[in-house]
């Protein structure tokens, strides 16, 4: 049995029952593909269901506000995906008469859709013969064929893309694409795959050369940047002061609190931190420590500390991103997960 047929046979026996596999609707498949980017299926499935329930059509998605989209997205991370989805929905309504495209070349015109996503949507919705190349596919091909070209290098991307298309099952590309991705997710897993039950174990290069733990090869990325954000909670009756984060930094258009960023973790009882707080919020400002936590993103680790602030002074004319909201309204605003967790625990 050929490599392709082995994968398809395995898939038909072992595949997970996932809702987007029961449709050829390009909009629904697009939702699943974007939500599952850099997200495990177990984590992404509730978000997929929530988005489809709130926005059953691309027109519904386009007519939503960005705040509604980001609120539903809250906790998934990579918030630019949610913002790009909103722009894409509006683009489809305005340029495709509200009919989500299902062909590769048209899909590439949409915001937030690259080669992999266009191939996946076109393959699964229209049966177009386009190979999908995601992390699972890289891993399966690298191990099975013994390819050690780094998968995150230009040469590696080109090599694997060419190979994936050469191996594409022309009779049923959609089924094959689903099969090889599912095989990588469930059988040829990143760590500790059970090679003894693998249907490809007789011909797998990595298994026979003890390279399963070494393939695929990736070029190591630069070390994550550490940031130190000190948040200040200001209350007036049932209202709390919030800030809408602006473009050019993480959590764009999400809501948090007034903050001071320092280059290092300053001693909160030290003179340097006290001076910084009084310089920023007035000489009469008084602060009390509440809690601290660490939030890990792809390219940075954010160290957060939360304080109650009293006797403060703000210049609202210069800081237009600040606004008083009720605690009830606060729950409706999209927030970074770290802020949302703090609110649930302390407010």
pLDDT digits (tens, 9 = 90+) for 243-295: 999 988 899 999 999 999 999 998 988 999 999 999 999 999 999 999 999 99
Residue environment code for 200-210, b if the CB has 16+ CB neighbours within 10 A, otherwise e = beeebebbeee
Task: Quote the pLDDT of residue 299.
Answer: 87
C-alpha dist (Å) from residue 158 to 42, 151, 154, 293? 31, 9, 6, 41
Cis peptide before 216 (omega within 30 of 0): yes
Percent of the chain beyond pLDDT 90? 89
Going by pLDDT thresholds of 50, 70 and 90, the confidence category of residue 236 is very high
Count of beta carbons in the 10 Å neighbourhood of residue 303: 16
Q: List domains and CATH numbers for the chain.
A: 3-208 (1.10.340.30), 225-346 (3.90.79.10)
> Whose CA is closest to 229, among 272, 270, 258?
258
Mean pLDDT of the chain: 95
Residue 45 predicted with pLDDT over 90: yes
User: Catalytic residue among 6, 33, 166, 321, which?
Assistant: 33
User: Which residue is it, tokens 């209350």?
Assistant: 235
Q: Name the strand (E) or helix (H) holding 182.
A: helix 173-186
Task: Quote the pLDDT of residue 318.
Answer: 75
Task: Quote the pLDDT of residue 141.
Answer: 98
pLDDT digits (tens, 9 = 90+) for 87-120: 999 999 999 999 999 999 999 999 999 999 999 9
- Tell me the pTM: 0.86
User: Which residue is it, tokens 């699972």?
Assistant: 136
The DSSP letter of residue 76 is S
What's the whole-number mean pLDDT along residues 287-315? 94
Known catalytic membership, residue 33:
yes
What's the whole-number mean pLDDT along residues 184-193? 96
Contacts of 199 (CB under 8 A, 6+ apart): 6, 9, 10
Task: Quote the pLDDT of residue 346.
Answer: 87
Beta bridge pairs of residue 95:
none
The DSSP letter of residue 302 is E
d(Cα 15, Cα 25) in Å, to the nearest integer? 20
Q: Are 4 and 169 in contact (CB under 8 A)?
A: yes
Task: Quote the pLDDT of residue 171.
Answer: 93
Task: Quote the pLDDT of residue 195.
Answer: 97
Q: Are 76 and 45 in contact (CB under 8 A)?
A: no
What's the whole-number mean pLDDT along residues 312-327? 88
Cis peptide before 199 (omega within 30 of 0): no
Count of beta carbons in the 10 Å neighbourhood of residue 254: 23
Task: Quote the pLDDT of residue 1.
Answer: 60
What's the whole-number mean pLDDT along residues 159-172? 96
User: Which residue is it, tokens 């059988």?
Assistant: 187
Greater model confidence, 20 or 317: 20
C-alpha dist (Å) from residue 123 to 21, 28, 150, 177, 288? 12, 14, 26, 8, 56
What's the whole-number mean pLDDT along residues 120-140? 97
Least confident stretch, 38-52, 173-187, 317-331: 317-331
Phi and psi (nearest 5°) for 289? Answer: -70, 135
């Amino acid at each position: 049995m050929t490599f392709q047929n082995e994968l398809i046979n395995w898939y038909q026996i072992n595949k997970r029952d996932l809702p987007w596999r029961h449709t050829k609707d390009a909009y629904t498949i697009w939702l699943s593909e974007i939500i599952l980017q850099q997200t495990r299926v177990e984590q992404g499935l509730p978000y997929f269901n929530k988005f489809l329930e709130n926005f059953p059509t691309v027109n519904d998605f386009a007519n939503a506000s960005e705040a509604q989209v980001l609120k539903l997205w809250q906790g998934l991370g990579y918030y630019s995906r949610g913002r790009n989805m909103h722009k894409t929905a509006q683009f489809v309504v305005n340029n495709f008469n509200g009919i989500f495209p299902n062909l590769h070349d048209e899909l590439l015109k949409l915001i937030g859709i690259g080669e992999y996503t266009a191939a996946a949507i076109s393959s699964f919705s229209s049966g177009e013969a386009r190979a999908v190349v995601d992390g699972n596919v890289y891993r399966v091909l690298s191990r099975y064929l013994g390819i050690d070209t780094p998968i995150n290098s230009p040469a590696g991307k080109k090599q694997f893309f060419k190979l994936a298309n050469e191996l594409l099952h022309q009779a049923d590309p959609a089924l094959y694409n689903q099969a090889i991705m599912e095989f990588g997710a469930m059988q040829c897993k990143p760590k500790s795959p059970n090679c003894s039950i693998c249907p490809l174990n007789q011909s797998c290069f990595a298994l026979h050369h003890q390279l399963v733990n070494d393939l695929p090869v990736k070029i190591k990325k630069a070390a994550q940047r550490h940031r130190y954000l000190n948040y200040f909670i200001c209350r007036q009756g049932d209202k709390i002061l919030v800030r809408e984060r602006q473009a050019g930094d993480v959590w764009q258009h999400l809501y948090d609190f007034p903050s001071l960023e320092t280059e290092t973790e300053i001693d909160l009882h030290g003179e340097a931190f006290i001076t910084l707080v009084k310089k920023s919020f007035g000489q009469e400002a008084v602060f009390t420590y509440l809690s601290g936590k660490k939030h890990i993103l792809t390219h940075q680790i954010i160290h957060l500390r939360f304080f109650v602030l009293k006797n403060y002074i703000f210049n609202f004319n210069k800081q237009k991103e600040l606004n008083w909201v009720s605690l009830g309204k606060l729950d409706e605003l999209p927030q970074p997960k770290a802020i949302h967790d703090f609110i649930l625990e302390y407010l």
